[in-house]
Structure formats: C-alpha cells, structure tokens
Amino acid sequence: MFRSIRQRIAVLGLLGLCFLAVYGAGAHYSPMMVTYVVGQALIQKAPDGMSAATVRARYEAFLAAAPPAARLEKVMALSTYLEKVQKLTPMELDRLLAPDGTVEGRGI
C-alpha cells in the first residue's frame, strides 16, 4: 500500500494533526457544552408554570454575575445538585440562581 518511509511518515503526521485539531476543539468548546447542557437540565427541572425563557434568562444572568474564573466551577456544582433532584421548587430555583447561591453548604 505505502511504498516508502516518507509516505508512512506523511500519513502519521496527518493523523497526528487531525488528533491535535480534534483535541484542541474539544478542549476549547467543552466548557460551553457543559454550560449549555446544565442550562437545559435546569429548564427541564424548573418548577411547573415557569417558562423556559424565564429560566434561561435567569440562568444567563447567573452566569454573567459569576467571575469568569469561577464560572465553570459554579456550573459544575449546579450540575451535581441537579442530578439529585427530580423537580425544583421555586425556592430552590431562587436559591440556586442567586448570585451568591449555595448548593448543600457550598458556594456556587
């Protein structure tokens, strides 16, 4: 199939570049994907009668209020809490999306 060592090296180099491109894209976009997925979970578990647009706006305000360095940590803490509940109450949602909200004693 490949006749020379140069062709083999070129194919390996191309595979290496493809791997680096996929890895770089994943590393760059993974925080955005996590933030999106947690937002969707929050909408699904929102109290009855609350519109998705309202929950989304409150979640975006919550994210905007968080310092950029701590944003992903807050989203991950929120995700951990959302895994444990079936449906949020209005008071839980208010507590979770407050700028200084806490989840089980931890600041998120």
Note the pLDDT tens digit of each residue in 54-77: 999 999 999 998 888 889 999 999
Contact of 92 with 84, CB cutoff 8 Å: no
Confidence of residue 102 (pLDDT cuts 50, 70, 90): low
What 3-state class would DSSP assign to 107?
strand
The residue written with tokens 């140069």 in the block is 6
For residue range 21-55, list pLDDT tens digits in order: 999 998 889 899 999 999 999 999 999 989 999 99
